[in-house]
Amino acid sequence: MKWEFFFWPLPLSPALEEAQKAIQQLFGKIKDIKDKAEKSEQMVKEITRDIKQLDHAKRHLTTSITTLNHLHMLAGGVDSLEAMTRRRQYGEVANLLQGVMNVLEHFHRYMGIPQIRQLSERVKAAQTELGQQILADFEEAFPSQGTKRPGGPSNVLRDACLVANILDPRIKQEIIKKFIKQHLSEYLVLFQENQDVAWLDKIDRRYAWIKRQLVDYEEKYGRMFPREWYMAERIAVEFCHITRTELAKIMRTRAKEIEVKLLLFAIQRTTNFEGFLAKRFSGCTLTDGTLKKLESPPASTNPFLEDEPAPEMEELAMEKGDVEQPKKPKAPDNPFHGIVSKCFEPHLYVYIESQD
C-alpha cells in the first residue's frame, strides 16, 4: 500500500499580507515618481530651449540696436563732415573723421545694402575732397614758384596737418615735399653754379645758411607741423642731398682748380657739419621715415675721415688760423656720415698725387 501525502496551502498571516500590500504600494509610488521625473525632465528641456531662444533674441536685438545707433552716428557724422570740410574747420574734422572711419568699419559686412554703400562712398568722397582742399591750402600758403614766404604759421594749416595724418599717406608726403621744396628754393638761387659763393672756398656759407633756416623754421613753423613728421630733420636731409649733388657737379666742371689745401678745407668743414647734424637729429628720416635702428654705414675709403687727423690737416690748421681741426665722429656712430662728404671721394686723387 502506497502512502500519498497531500499538502494544503497554509493561510498567510496578517502581518505578511500587510507587508505585501506595502511593497505593492511602494512600487506604485516609485513608478509614479519616475513618471513625474520624466515629465519634469521634459519640462526642463522645454524651458531651457525657450531660454536659449530668448538669449538669441536678446543678442540679435542688442546687435540690431547697436547697428542702428552706429548707422545713426554714421549718417549724422557724414553730414557734419561734409559741412565742416566746406567751412575748413579742420580741427573738428580731424576728430570727427577718425570717429566716422571707426564706425564705418562695423559696416563692412553690410556693404551689400545700398544705403550703407552710399554712406561709404560719401565718406570716401569727403576724404578725397579734404585731401585736394588741404593741398590747395598749402599751395596757396607756400607757392612752388617764388621765394616769398608768409609772415608766420597758420592755425588752419596746423589743423590741416592733423587731418592729413588720417587721410591717405600720399597727402602727407605731398605736403612735406611742397614745404621743403619751397623752404629750400632760395638756397638753389643763392648758390647756383655760376655764383662765387658756390665754390669750395666758401663752403662754410652753405652750412651757415641751412643753420639759419633751421632756426627760422623752429621759430615760425615748429608748432605748425606734428612732431612725428620730423620736418626740421627732413629739411636738413634734403639740403644735404641737394648740396652733395651741386658740389659734385661744380667739382666736375672745375676739377682743374681743386688744390690739396682747398680740398682738405672743404672736407673738414663738411664733416664738421655732418657731426653737427648727428648731434641734433636722430637720423630716423633716413630709413623711410620710421624709427628703426640705423645700420652702420659702410666703411668709407676717404683717408680724411679716420679718427686721427692726417699730418697734412694739422699743417693746414697751423697755416690757416680760422680753420679748426675737425672732431670727426666715427662713421658707424653718425647716421649722417658721408651724406655730403661722399661727393669728395672722386677727387681724392689730388691728395694722393700731392703725397707722391
Dihedral sign of CA atoms 300, 212, 318, 260 in order: positive
Give the Cα-Cα-Cα angle 167, 169, 171 (nearest 5 degrees). 70
What Cα–Cα distance (Å) separates residue 253 from each residue in 2, 202, 320? 157, 17, 27
φ and ψ at residue 246, rounded to 5 degrees: -70, -40
The pLDDT, as a whole number, for residue 21 is 80
The pLDDT, as a whole number, for residue 13 is 74
Residue type, 284: C
How many angstroms from the chain centroid is the CA of residue 324? 41
**pLDDT string in tens for the chain (356-residue length):** 455 544 455 566 777 878 888 888 888 888 888 888 888 888 888 788 778 777 777 777 787 787 788 788 888 888 999 899 889 899 999 989 988 988 888 888 888 888 888 988 999 999 999 999 999 999 888 886 654 555 456 789 999 999 999 999 999 999 999 999 999 999 999 999 989 999 999 999 999 999 999 999 999 898 899 999 999 999 999 999 999 999 999 999 999 998 999 999 999 999 999 999 999 999 999 875 433 333 334 444 444 444 434 434 444 443 444 444 444 444 457 899 999 999 999 988 888 887 76
SS3 content of the chain, % helix, strand, coil (to 5): 75, 0, 25
Q: Which residues contact 161 (CB under 8 A, 6 or more apart)?
A: 172, 175, 224, 225, 226, 229
Strands (E) in 294-343, as ranges, are none
The pLDDT, as a whole number, for residue 331 is 44
CA pair distance 47, 45, nearest whole angstrom: 5
The pLDDT, as a whole number, for residue 215 is 94
Q: Which residues contact 125 (CB under 8 A, 6 or more apart)?
A: none
Tell me how many helices (H) and strands (E) the chain has: 11, 0
